[in-house]
């Protein structure tokens, strides 16, 4: 069609846009546009109804077409935009996640056993856990240790049963299939260890841990262990075809001893009490040597002929137990055995005796070393305690003190297994000491409000300086009135703070994790005294940090030092300052109505030349001398007027001019200004003295800025009327 074509529908199930209930719908298409134009025209209802489902579908179509048109417009503007087909993918992913979430409960497996129903983990979790990593850390991976144990069991099977099956007639045609089946299982373990596990083991090269697949495989292939492992799995069993089922062809399986010793080392590293395994292993060595000796004795008896002489095995009873009994008596040199008869028997018996002496002495010495290493700490504890008791007996220390010392030793050893933890940590590098200190003490120190916000490295350095001290029941941690120089952190146990008039009232009980005495670390100027007694309620283990140690640490952390000083001031205000001096007695009677007398100015004290009553007496003495001089001057004055009459003009000047004061009473300021009367004087600001007939004391500001005030003392003659 070359022109637009329109279809009109009166009663049609076509979906109408939202808001168009009735009317005509016109759909038009053109040959040049792929879009469909929908035009609606409202008309009056003519008695027909629309389909609600069709209406909703049509609205959804219109919405999607508009979104698509918007995406294409943005695509034309910016061609770098991604394809619009990406949004349905995200929607599909969401649907897949929902389906997986719905299907997840179906993966749970439940197992019914008797009357109980429990949840069983799915097989996928086991497979994920058992999945081999690309590289294996032989020191920390427990799965590798478990695998070594499996290989060790296969190795011990070969070591114990290959000689047994070769010498004793226990392998018969009727049970050969069982022996062969177990041999095949052991060979599979050997092959898996050779091809799967050992090429994945990490190794050290120049201090670096090598975990590359190619490098690990190359390192293993170039080692002696690889050569022995290859020899141990060589299939010499093919000779069974020519010589029959002889267990001697499997003797090469006993060359995989490196894996056995590696398993011993790894197992001892992860055991808490490794000495127990060492004792078991040493006992196993002894039993294995006796086993080999029993096999050799049966082989020698078979070579000489069973029952041919008194020395050989007579063939009665359980052959293995009888031979093992003979091997024990011979190897441990118990004696009481039949005398050898032939030359072969004599040589065999001599070699057995020599071998028994060497092996038995070696095993006994190894057992002694194992037990000694296991009890080394206990022996050290006993030695220290015995030396201390001997010292106290030498100096006749009272029994009460000796009993407390013994109690301290016993509790310290029982609680932490050693007398001094620092001796053990000193053997380790600083980084390892810090790691252990963080795990043990960081949670406790982090609770102290005083150190919150400080540099983390400063706290780490402080953790290395904490000292652990054990207090016995009733010991005073600190006493009232002592100078505080330490902070205490309770690691274990309880302490009680005592107070009251008699000092026996329990004010508060502090338990593990509590901190006290932290203000003493940063008390400005020192003198921070303890305000109460702190007593250990039971056995208490406390961490102590002294002020000197903290100051050494804060030298390297100035920001933390400033923060600690600010916090110390706040804590001092909250918890109160140290105990003040004796209280000032209040005046009694009417004197209490007046305020407290102010302190005498220091300059005035200096002028008086003394303190208290001594200075006042000196001032009165000066006044009396002044009065005597004035009286003498008045008596001599009439005599001088009779002899030499002076003009009346100069009399007022003589009257105004005061006599020279005594040299002892003249202040330094008066000597510096002899003509002070002729010059204008600055007005006195404050009078801090009393004015009598001849003495005036005043304070005036200094003419030089920054020098404060000047104290002046002036003496004037009283005018007579």
In this structure, are strands 476-478 and 533-536 parallel, antiparallel, or unpaired? antiparallel
Enumerate residues 6+ apart whose C-beta is below 8 A from 350. Answer: none
- Which pLDDT score, from 0 to 100, does residue 446 have? 75
Find tokens 């003394």 and name the residue.
610
Measured CA to CA, the distance from residue 487 to residue 517 in angstroms comes to 5
Enumerate residues 6+ apart whose C-beta is below 8 A from 547. Answer: 485, 486, 520, 521
Cβ pair 483, 519 in contact under 8 A: no
Helix locations, 576-693, DSSP H: 602-608, 613-643, 651-656, 668-672
Here the tokens at position 377 are 């700490």
Measured CA to CA, the distance from residue 10 to residue 22 in angstroms comes to 9
Which residues, in sequence order, are bridge partners of residue 712? 698
3-state secondary structure 25-80: EEEECCCCCCCCEEEEEECCCCCCCCCHHHHHHHHHHHHHHHHHHHHHHHHHHCCC
- Which pLDDT score, from 0 to 100, does residue 581 have? 45
Taking the chain (721 residues) in runs of 10, the rounded mean pLDDT of each run is 41 44 42 41 50 83 88 67 42 48 49 54 63 84 92 95 93 91 94 92 86 91 93 91 88 93 92 87 91 93 89 90 91 79 90 85 84 82 89 90 89 79 75 81 75 83 85 88 84 87 85 79 66 87 86 87 82 59 52 55 56 60 78 69 49 44 41 44 47 61 62 61 46
Here the tokens at position 413 are 């050893």
Here the tokens at position 546 are 């002294």
Enumerate residues 6+ apart whose C-beta is below 8 A from 319. Answer: 168, 298, 313
Here the tokens at position 399 are 């029994």
- Which pLDDT score, from 0 to 100, does residue 450 have? 74
Measured CA to CA, the distance from residue 110 to residue 121 in angstroms comes to 8
Measured CA to CA, the distance from residue 373 to residue 168 in angstroms comes to 40
Q: At what angle do helices 257-270 and 224-232 cross, to 10 degrees?
A: 120
- Which pLDDT score, from 0 to 100, does residue 73 have? 79
- Which pLDDT score, from 0 to 100, does residue 147 have? 93
Here the tokens at position 148 are 């070594």
pTM exceeds 0.75: no
Measured CA to CA, the distance from residue 299 to residue 304 in angstroms comes to 9
- Which pLDDT score, from 0 to 100, does residue 514 have? 82
Enumerate residues 6+ apart whose C-beta is below 8 A from 55. Answer: 15, 16, 17, 18
Cβ pair 684, 699 in contact under 8 A: yes
- Candidates 234, 226, 231, 238; CA nearest to 193 is 226
DSSP 542-593: EEEEEHHHHHHHHTT-HHHHHHHHHHHHHHHHHH--SPP-SPPPPPPGGGGG
> Could you give the count of Cα atoms lying within 13 Å of 22 in the half-sphere of its Cβ?
7
């Amino acid at each position: 069609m070359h022109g637009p074509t329109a279809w009109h529908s009166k009663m049609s199930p076509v979906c109408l846009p939202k808001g168009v209930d009735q009317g005509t719908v016109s759909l038009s298409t053109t040959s040049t546009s792929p879009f469909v134009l929908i035009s609606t025209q409202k008309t009056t209802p003519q008695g027909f109804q629309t389909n609600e489902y069709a209406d909703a579908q049509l609205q959804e179509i219109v919405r999607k077409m508009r979104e698509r048109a918007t995406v294409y417009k943005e695509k034309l503007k910016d061609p770098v935009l991604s394809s619009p087909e990406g949004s349905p993918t995200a929607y599909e992913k969401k649907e897949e996640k929902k389906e997986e979430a719905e299907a997840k409960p179906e993966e749970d497996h439940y197992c019914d056993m008797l009357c109980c129903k429990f949840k069983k983990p799915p097989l996928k979790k086991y497979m994920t856990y058992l999945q081999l990593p690309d590289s294996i850390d032989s020191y920390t991976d427990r799965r590798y240790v478990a695998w070594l144990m499996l290989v060790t069991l296969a190795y011990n099977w070969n070591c114990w049963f290959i000689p047994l099956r070769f010498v004793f007639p226990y392998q018969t045609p009727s049970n050969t299939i069982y022996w062969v089946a177990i041999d095949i299982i052991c060979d599979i373990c050997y092959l898996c260890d050779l091809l799967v596990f050992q090429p994945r083991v990490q190794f050290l090269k120049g201090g670096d841990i090598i975990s590359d697949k190619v490098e690990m495989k190359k390192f293993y292939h170039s080692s002696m262990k690889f050569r022995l492992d290859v020899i141990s799995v060589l299939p010499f069993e093919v000779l069974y075809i020519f010589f029959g089922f002889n267990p001697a062809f499997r003797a090469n399986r006993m060359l995989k001893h490196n894996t056995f010793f590696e398993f011993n080392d790894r197992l001892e590293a992860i055991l808490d009490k490794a000495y127990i395994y060492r004792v078991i292993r040493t006992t196993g060595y002894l039993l294995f040597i006796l086993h080999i000796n029993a096999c050799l004795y049966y082989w020698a008896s078979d070579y000489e002929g069973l029952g041919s002489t008194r020395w050989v095995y007579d063939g009665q009873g359980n052959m293995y137990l009888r031979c093992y009994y003979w091997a024990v008596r011979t190897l441990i040199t118990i004696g009481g055995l039949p005398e050898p008869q032939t030359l072969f028997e004599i040589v065999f018996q001599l070699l057995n005796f020599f071998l028994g002496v060497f092996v038995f002495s070696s095993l006994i010495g190894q057992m002694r070393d194992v037990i000694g290493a296991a009890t080394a700490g206990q022996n050290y504890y006993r030695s220290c305690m015995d030396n201390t008791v001997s010292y106290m007996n030498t100096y006749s220390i009272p029994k009460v003190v000796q009993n407390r010392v013994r109690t301290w030793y016993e509790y310290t050893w029982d609680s932490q297994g050693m007398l001094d933890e620092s001796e053990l940590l000193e053997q380790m590098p600083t980084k390892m000491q810090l790691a252990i200190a963080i795990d043990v003490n960081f949670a406790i120190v982090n609770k102290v409000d005083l150190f919150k916000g400080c540099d983390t490295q400063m706290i780490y350095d402080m953790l290395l300086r904490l000292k652990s001290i054990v207090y016995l029941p009733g010991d005073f941690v600190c006493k009232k009135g002592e100078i505080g120089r330490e902070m205490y952190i309770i690691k274990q146990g309880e302490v009680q703070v005592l107070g009251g008039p008699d000092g026996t009232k329990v004010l508060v009980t502090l338990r593990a994790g509590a901190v006290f005495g932290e203000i003493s670390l940063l008390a400005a100027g020192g003198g921070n005294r303890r305000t109460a007694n702190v007593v250990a309620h039971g056995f208490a283990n406390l961490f102590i940090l002294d002020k000197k140690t903290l100051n050494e640490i804060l030298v390297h952390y100035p920001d933390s030092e400033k923060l600690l000083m600010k916090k110390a001031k706040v804590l001092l205000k909250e918890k109160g300052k140290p105990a003040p001096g004796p209280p000032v007695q209040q005046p009694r009677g009417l004197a209490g109505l007046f305020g407290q007398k102010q302190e005498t100015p220091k300059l005035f004290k200096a002028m008086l030349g003394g303190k208290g009553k001594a200075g006042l007496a000196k001032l009165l003495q000066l006044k009396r001398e002044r009065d005597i001089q004035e009286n003498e001057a008045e008596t001599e004055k009439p005599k001088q007027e009779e002899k030499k009459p002076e003009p009346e003009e100069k009399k007022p000047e003589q009257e105004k001019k005061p006599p020279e004061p005594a040299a002892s009473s003249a202040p330094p300021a008066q000597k510096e200004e002899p003509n002070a009367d002729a010059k204008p004087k600055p007005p006195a600001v404050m009078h801090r003295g009393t004015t009598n007939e001849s003495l005036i004391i005043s304070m005036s500001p200094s003419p030089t800025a920054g020098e404060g005030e000047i104290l002046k003392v002036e003496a004037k003659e009283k005018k007579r009327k």
